[in-house]
Chain A
């Protein structure tokens, strides 16, 4: 089932939030929310395998950035990557089937929630190693420049990964080679069960950008419009050949680190005070006259159908056959 609106910028990057773009953004944000909440429910009731890390609450970051990307732009993400993949245009049927471990999944059931890859959409992978995908992003940007392709590479990472060596090594490498890498930090306040107030030596991850001579912006990660604006400036900097850029988006993780997390490290009152990025978007878009109430309702209805279809597809799909255990270890013609 196709998107009701155009999934992303096909040729040039958008310069402003037009009514068309606002509709597309809301569709994507609402799709992420619906997808994640559906997975949460299925995980509780349907014996969904493995573990899942939900991005509910962080939708404005994924969409504020990815709506400005072209299909061929590269992206790497984290164990909490469903939202980024949806925002980049991955097929939700294939994603849901992958999370169920089905043969029809984007990775034929061999990756699962934490390792979804979709090279056709520029997605070089979600990654279950914190900070593990960041160096790949630098290499993808290097390849793009070498091949004279007009692509950028975006590394989504959390506040926790800001303390991994891979982040620091990659930031330095991208900076000295002036590569078009966007370091997109999604600071949701917690690395697993540890607060940024404890684990980070600086108040903002963005402060670390200056150590690598790159711009470091702070965005309100609950406000699509602010993420859009800060990302746009970062992309302009990168496109001008001036090297990488960092945008830190302050956001909230509505659910636990993983489904089943006791969350004793934060109070119900703290969670209740979180702003909702969808609500923030709706209020601002309506005030600006970018979207009408009736459009919001029709987008929501279409998205709910899209997710219901994805669930039905995933549930009715077969599991991979046991012979698949040893395929795709090496390329065809290899060992």
Chain B
């Protein structure tokens, strides 16, 4: 495979483009995923290509029939994706910001997630909700949340949290080909980070963690944007002679319990890093799993590193202090070494 550097945003775009080329059933819906709808001027077409330009150019290749700009009606278009999936399509919808879950949650929580079950398996909902999440753009409390723990809590949904451009493309292609509703979490501050991405389409299986760094002294499990922060922390710890093993789960549902247990069996120590608010977070879930299943392997208490239990603050220094930093991860590691 020939490989080149792409941003995470470009990796999303390429995955969508390649799947739309190979499968006519794939359609896109969302707010301003092209932009300029209803404006009769050639330059208005694809005015935005998504609020951050992630879907730019797709309407020019696939047309308005497959790239549908929607009104600001998240319940209607996410619900429409549920219905379209039930009726034979593979819709990929964009929930511009995961915070907007608040206005459409029923369609995800009670409809998409439960239809396979309530139908006794006779009706599948193969759809993807792409959504941007995370703090770091000084967008404050209604545009910066993480919220994936709420979604991971709901049986019937799968939750994907890529942290590299390579994983983004492979996991998104897997999500589009999956038979279940998938929430695909794109961390907005990572969109313009680059990485090696093969040109050809490829898939990455769900439920398989990536070991980003091997080590024998300590396990760090980090999610989404916390992966690069944990890399930095592991490098610092390395300078101190502590070999940290870094695990990126890549998907939260399904979660690669085996990879986490295997690493903890080796190191005996665990720090879990999760930008979510702490109560009922993924860090809590992973800590509980390890406490229940790996107790005999542990040489120290499990430590969670989360954002504080507060909304995301606006003021830049406060937001900066809110997001878990590599220094906090390093300090957490020190506390159990």
Count residues on chain A whose CB falls below 8 Å from chain B CBs: 52
How many cross-chain pairs have Cβ atoms below 8 Å apart between A and B?
A: 165
B133 smallest CB distance to A (angstroms): 22
If A119-B86, A146-B65 touch, does A135 touch B120 (CB 8 Å cutoff)? Answer: no
8 Å CB contact of B116 from A169, A172, A331: A331
Query: B115: which A residues are within 8 A, CB to CB?
Result: 117, 125
B171 at the interface (CB under 8 A from A): no
Q: Which A residues from 66 to 100 make CB contacts under 8 A with B? A: 74, 76
8 Å CB contact of A139 from B81, B118, B124, B156: B81
The stretch from A57-65, A101-109, A276-284 touching chain B is A101-109
Query: B206: which A residues are within 8 A, CB to CB?
Result: 334-335
A132 at the interface (CB under 8 A from B): yes
A166 to B202, CA, bound (A): 37
Interface hub of B65, B77, B79, B83 (most chain A Cβ within 10 A): B83
8 Å CB contact of A108 from B107, B121, B178, B207: B121
8 Å CB contact of B110 from A129, A142, A331: A129
Q: Which A residues from 116 to 168 make CB contacts under 8 A with B? A: 117-120, 124-125, 127-129, 132-144, 146-147, 153, 165-166
Q: 0/1 per residue, B43-56, Cβ < 8 Å to A?
A: 00000000000000
Query: A203: which B residues are within 8 A, CB to CB?
Result: none
Query: B117: which A residues are within 8 A, CB to CB?
Result: 110, 328-329
A144 to B155, CA, bound (A): 29
B290 smallest CB distance to A (angstroms): 19
Query: A329: which B residues are within 8 A, CB to CB?
Result: 116-117, 155-156
A28 at the interface (CB under 8 A from B): no
Query: B254: which A residues are within 8 A, CB to CB?
Result: 334-335
8 Å CB contact of A111 from B76, B83, B120: B120
Contact (Cβ within 8 A) B120 A143: no
Contact (Cβ within 8 A) B83 A129: no
8 Å CB contact of A129 from B86, B106, B122: B106
Query: B151: which A residues are within 8 A, CB to CB?
Result: none
Query: B158: which A residues are within 8 A, CB to CB?
Result: 330, 334-335
B191 smallest CB distance to A (angstroms): 28
B204 at the interface (CB under 8 A from A): no
A115 at the interface (CB under 8 A from B): yes
If A129-B106, A129-B110, A173-B70 touch, does A140 touch B83 (CB 8 Å cutoff)? Answer: yes
A176 at the interface (CB under 8 A from B): yes
B309 smallest CB distance to A (angstroms): 29
A129 to B106, CA, bound (A): 8
The stretch from B87-95, B162-170, B237-245, B281-289 touching chain A is B87-95
Contact (Cβ within 8 A) A335 B207: yes
Query: B180: which A residues are within 8 A, CB to CB?
Result: 330-331, 334
Q: 0/1 per residue, B147-163, Cβ < 8 Å to A?
A: 00000000110100000
Contact (Cβ within 8 A) A137 B119: no
B interface, size bucket: 35 or more
A134 to B71, CA, bound (A): 16
Contact (Cβ within 8 A) B86 A173: no
A115 to B123, CA, bound (A): 12
If A165-B75, A173-B70, A334-B179 touch, does A140 touch B116 (CB 8 Å cutoff)? Answer: no
Query: B271: which A residues are within 8 A, CB to CB?
Result: none
Q: 0/1 per residue, B32-70, Cβ < 8 Å to A?
A: 000000000000000000000000000000000100101
Query: A140: which B residues are within 8 A, CB to CB?
Result: 83-84, 86-87
B27 at the interface (CB under 8 A from A): yes
Contact (Cβ within 8 A) A139 B85: yes
Query: A330: which B residues are within 8 A, CB to CB?
Result: 116, 156, 158, 179-180
Query: A173: which B residues are within 8 A, CB to CB?
Result: 70-71, 73, 76-77, 80
Interface hub of B65, B77, B78, B79 (most chain A Cβ within 10 A): B79
A76 to B111, CA, bound (A): 12
If A172-B71, A330-B158 touch, does A135 touch B76 (CB 8 Å cutoff)? Answer: yes
Contact (Cβ within 8 A) B82 A107: no
Contact (Cβ within 8 A) B76 A169: yes
A231 at the interface (CB under 8 A from B): no
Query: A245: which B residues are within 8 A, CB to CB?
Result: none
If A135-B78, A146-B65 touch, does A117 touch B123 (CB 8 Å cutoff)? Answer: yes
B253 at the interface (CB under 8 A from A): yes
A121 to B266, CA, bound (A): 55
B184 smallest CB distance to A (angstroms): 15
Query: B124: which A residues are within 8 A, CB to CB?
Result: 331
Contact (Cβ within 8 A) B83 A119: no
A115 to B119, CA, bound (A): 8
Query: A74: which B residues are within 8 A, CB to CB?
Result: 83, 87
8 Å CB contact of A117 from B68, B107, B119: B119
Q: Which B residues from 243 to 263 make CB contacts under 8 A with A? A: 253-254
A118 to B253, CA, bound (A): 28
A55 at the interface (CB under 8 A from B): no
Q: 0/1 per residue, A36-59, Cβ < 8 Å to B?
A: 000000000000000000000000
Q: Which residue of B lies closest to A108 (CB)?
A: B120
Pick 28 A–B contacts, CB within 8 A, sort by A.
Answer: A74-B87, A107-B119, A107-B122, A110-B118, A111-B120, A117-B119, A117-B123, A124-B83, A132-B107, A132-B110, A132-B111, A133-B111, A135-B76, A138-B79, A143-B84, A146-B27, A147-B88, A147-B89, A165-B75, A166-B106, A172-B71, A173-B73, A173-B77, A328-B117, A330-B158, A331-B180, A334-B206, A335-B207
Given contacts A139-B85, A140-B83, A169-B73, 8 further A-B contacts (CB under 8 A): A111-B119, A124-B87, A135-B79, A136-B82, A173-B76, A328-B120, A329-B155, A334-B180
